[in-house]
Amino acid sequence: MNINNLRPAVGAGCKVHIETYGCQMNFADSEVVLAILQKEGYIYTEDIAQAEVILVNTCSIRDNAEQRIWGRLNEFRRYKRARKGLIVGIIGCMAERLKERLLDEEMVNVVAGPDAFRDLPHLIRMAREGQKGINTKLSREETYAEISPVRLDKNGVTAFVSIMRGCNNMCAYCVVPYTRGAERSRDWQTIVHEVEELFAAGYREVTLLGQNVNSYKCGEVGFPELMAKVAEVSPLLRVRFSTSHPKDMSDELLQVIAAYPNICRAIHLPAQSGSSRMLALMNRKYTREWYLGRIEAIRKYIPDCAITTDLIAGFCTETEEDHQMTLSLMREVGYASAFMFHYSERPNTYSARHLADDVSPEEKIRRLNEIIALQNELSLESNRRDVGGEFEILLEGTSKRSDDKMFGRTSQNKVVIIDRRYHRVGDYVRVRVTDCSSATLMGQEIE
């Protein structure tokens, strides 16, 4: 008899709740964490009030992300008082960055960095025995390659697939290389296998995730080859990816995207700034001209591609002239949408150590507001160009505003609202766009 069969799984029947903050990568990580815990007998509960273990998957990218999470942790004190034995774990980027401070918080029982998730069953067991469970070791190898994530986002149609971890780019402002460690790629075979399983389970769209997917490398397989392999799983499966660094956006990748109709016509290409002086200070390794050259290449190979971006307002020493360069870049590219932030100094990054955070908070916010106002105009213009056009959308769910409407996305990643009629989530529907706002398109099915 195998004695292990007599040992109950570590977490047998124990209810765990996971709360996730931050980027898509964090959401994908929470699904890996759940897979690890389920294997040990833990049961997921959506209801935090039922949970015996609460894990908070955290984000450190900007100060306000961390502040929000600290606020939330304060609320957990109440749960702790009400429920004896409740275990609270901080996992992910904040765990990595703030291990010492979190160690001192009597309220926190478990601290696990992004490469320590496999250790969570052990760390939770330590906490249950009254000790703190801590592991913030970063790894050069860990990719959680063979773990099949347990999907927490339950639309059953779209899923994230993590293809690499960490980042080597060392942008001056960014904390990610410190919290997530060095870049490493997951074996392509396990990626394709996961995608095949998702398709067989009814999923119709995957987003390949990494901090810089263009530098994916697994033996002879680079990102363009990986994209082709994933696109070949089925022509009925849409493929997206996020996020790309402009310095590595190769023609070869653009040719692969153009060659497969099921690879979506949407590229997120974070510019961060339109001023070459700022880009050099940010250590982005490209100039405004290089960036615009990449935009031109996208337009040449994939004329119907939507381009989106990330922008930072008020980085160290940014002048009004630099700021105007960002606004002019935005006009020149005509982004479909953008994520826009004001610079937030992160401890220990290159810019925190060596550059002056000398744009006043008021000025940062003024510049950011100008950027946001311009982007609203550009998004509206981009959407207006789609009115009258024909698109295929993949339905993802019921519209927030009305049960009689559903929403789906175009290949360009724009949301379209249509009448529900006989449609179901996961259907592809051909629509004509009839109207728009800056955020959404309205459509009508083409019969």
Q: Which does residue 177 touch among ligand 5AD, ligand SF4, none (CB within 5 to 8 A, set by kind)?
A: ligand SF4
Instruction: State yes or no: residue 24 binds ligand 5AD (CB under 6 A).
Output: no
CA–CA gap between residue 150 and residue 35 (Å, rounded): 5
**Looking at 136-144, 173-181, 197-205, 225-233, which segment touches ligand SF4 (CB under 6 A)?**
173-181
Place of tokens 């070791």: 137
Residues 157-176 that bind ligand 5AD (CB under 6 A): 173-174
Tokens of 336: 């479909």
> Measured at CB, which residue is nearest to ligand 5AD?
310
Instruction: State yes or no: residue 274 binds ligand SF4 (CB under 6 A).
Output: no
* Contact letters for ligand SF4, residues 239-268 (x by CB under 6 A): ------x-----------------------
Q: Which does residue 198 touch among ligand SF4, ligand 5AD, none (CB within 5 to 8 A, set by kind)?
A: none
CB of 284 to ligand SF4, least distance (A): 8
Q: Where are the beta strands (DSSP E) in 283-427?
A: 306-313, 337-342, 390-398, 405-409, 415-419
CB of 314 to ligand 5AD, least distance (A): 9
CB 62, CB 341: distance < 8 Å: yes
CB 35, CB 148: distance < 8 Å: yes
Instruction: State yes or no: residue 177 binds ligand SF4 (CB under 6 A).
Output: yes
CA–CA gap between residue 387 and residue 382 (Å, rounded): 9
Backbone angles phi, psi at 106, to 5 degrees: -65, -20
Based on the number of CB atoms within 10 Å of its own CB, is 431 exposed (0-12), middle (13-18) or buried (19 or more)? buried
Place of tokens 């997951």: 186
Could you give the 3-state DSSP secondary structure of residue 370?
helix
Nearer CB in complex with ligand 5AD: 4/348: 348
Near ligand 5AD by CB under 6 A: residue from 144, 188, 203, 343: 343
Closest CA to 242 of 213, 266, 204: 213
Q: Which does residue 210 touch among ligand 5AD, ligand SF4, none (CB within 5 to 8 A, set by kind)?
A: none
CB 87, CB 53: distance < 8 Å: yes
Closest CA to 93 of 167, 172, 146, 11: 167
CB of 189 to ligand SF4, least distance (A): 26
Task: Name all contacts of 125-131 with Cβ < 8 Å and 24+ positions apart.
Answer: 125/10, 127/87, 127/89, 128/85, 128/87
Close Cβ partners of 66 (under 8 Å, ≥ 6 residues apart) = 58, 59, 60, 94
Residues 313-342 that bind ligand 5AD (CB under 6 A): 341
Nearer CB in complex with ligand SF4: 244/375: 244
**Looking at 42-50, 64-72, 162-170, 192-200, which segment touches ligand SF4 (CB under 6 A)?**
162-170
Based on the number of CB atoms within 10 Å of its own CB, is 198 exposed (0-12), middle (13-18) or buried (19 or more)? buried
Place of tokens 């971890």: 165
Instruction: State yes or no: residue 167 binds ligand SF4 (CB under 6 A).
Output: yes
CA–CA gap between residue 423 and residue 444 (Å, rounded): 13
CB of 35 to ligand 5AD, least distance (A): 25
Near ligand SF4 by CB under 6 A: residue from 24, 169, 276, 317: 169
Nearer CB in complex with ligand 5AD: 109/349: 349
* Contact letters for ligand SF4, residues 197-216 (x by CB under 6 A): --------------xx----
Instruction: State yes or no: residue 62 binds ligand 5AD (CB under 6 A).
Output: yes
CA–CA gap between residue 310 and residue 331 (Å, rounded): 14
Q: Which does residue 343 touch among ligand 5AD, ligand SF4, none (CB within 5 to 8 A, set by kind)?
A: ligand 5AD
Near ligand 5AD by CB under 6 A: residue from 162, 244, 272, 308: 272
Near ligand 5AD by CB under 6 A: residue from 139, 287, 328, 344: 344
Looking at the DSSP assignment, which residues form a beta bridge with residue 429?
393
Q: Summarize as ranges the residues that interact with ligand SF4 (CB under 6 A).
A: 167, 169-171, 174, 176-177, 211-212, 245
Q: Summarize as ranges the residues that interact with ligand 5AD (CB under 6 A).
A: 61-62, 173-174, 270, 272, 310, 312, 341, 343-344, 346
